[in-house]
Amino acid sequence: MKIFQQDPELAKFYQSELERQRTTLEMIPSENFVSEAVLEALGGVGTNKYSEGYPGQRYYGGNQYIDQIENLARDRAKQLFGVDHANVQPYSGSPANQAAIFSVCKPGDKVMGMSLLFGGHLTHGWKVNFSGVYYNAVQYQTGPDGILDYDELEKLVKQERPRVLFCGATAYPRLFDYKRIAEIVHSVDGYFIADIAHECGLMAARVIPTPVGHADIITTTTHKSLRGPRGAMIMCNGKTSHPLKPLTEDEPMRENLPTLIDRAIFPGLQGGPHNHTTMAIAVALGEALQPDFKIYAQQILNNSKALAASLMNEGLNLATGGTDNHLMIIDLTNLGIGGKEAELALEEIGITANKNTIPFDKRKPFDPSGVRLGTPALTTRGFKEDEMTMIGQLIAKTLKNTKNETVKDEIKKAVLEMTSKYPLYPDLKYV
């Protein structure tokens, strides 16, 4: 590899990261492994080109082929999700959410989202984030059982009358009723933004319901269950976009959301798009359009159900009592340990997870009462239900023996044996 020839010190670090990924069970639900084709696109010559604007409306010359790449990515996104319009330029999920708010709100407008402590995302109105600083943020939460109470949400929406309501989460293991949420938000003439970053691959494969047809705006990352690069998209329905032409006063906003979204991305918030990422997004979307992607997405769900059942059979408690999607949260309260200790113990035996709050958590956010797990990355490697059952047993044994080094050493050997059966990027090396 040329990296090693030019910078051997750096190459060694990267080789170590590759080996870490190969020899651990990656169970953070927001992480996945891209195909070698996506990796190739990310390292391509698109990174050399400036392309401010949109296809056919650039501020730089020499974009005739970049235009074709971006149009292909947009067309594939529209086909895959069944929408009229897709913007593939957001640099990542947080900038996409920023642009979505910026497209329909003015500073100080009311933004409502699920509280971070109950599974929501920073960019949905959390107090230290831009969405909670530059906008009037109101947060909603789940019921005592950890499940969203739509009647309570309706009462809060009618009381607060938000300009925007975010639906979507980073740590909510249940499905959302998008039709009900749309009815609630639209009853106060608000905009419904669905952030599907976590579940977008499952929605693309139609193995769980989508917000298309209910949400006004849909935002998503491309690097989680969609199995693409670290980028994002914003999608909506509406008239054909004219991104560099301002709306006139007689053009209704809801019918012209494509224009508002595109203008929010550029020139509103971003400069030139990352063309190498756009190409990698196009590759990932092309993969998701293939029949075997639906099989993959269904396997994510099957594995999640099997893992949840295994954990509960071992006496562990799960927030909300289970899962409907790709993730779950172990409630560690009955084990007498915190999320920080659990995360570290799992990492020591070769399982990567992350500490997380549980609903109505009595512990502090930096050492909460839960640990979050997901199945997309292991499903990509080829793991199925039997292995997930075994992994659930290993996790339970680890969390019950966080101070027993002998037990943890035995579990670590079992993890290494499992990972060796499912090679990751076998031909790739940096040193």
Catalytic residue set: 50, 52, 195, 221, 224, 230
In the chain, helix, strand, coil percent, each to 5? 45, 15, 40
Closest CA to 60 of 48, 50, 47: 50
Rounded to whole angstroms, the Cα distance separating 19 from 344 reads: 19
Beta bridge partners of 194: 167, 218
Q: Count other Cβ atoms within 10 Å, centred on residue 109.
A: 16
- Give the whole-angstrom CA distance, residue 126 versus residue 348: 32
Cα 230 to its chain centre, rounded Å, is 10
Q: How far is it, in rounded angstroms, from Cα 265 to Cα 87?
A: 9
Quick one: which of 265, 321, 213 has its CA closest to 99?
265
Report the distance separating Cα 140 and Cα 157, nearest Å. Answer: 9
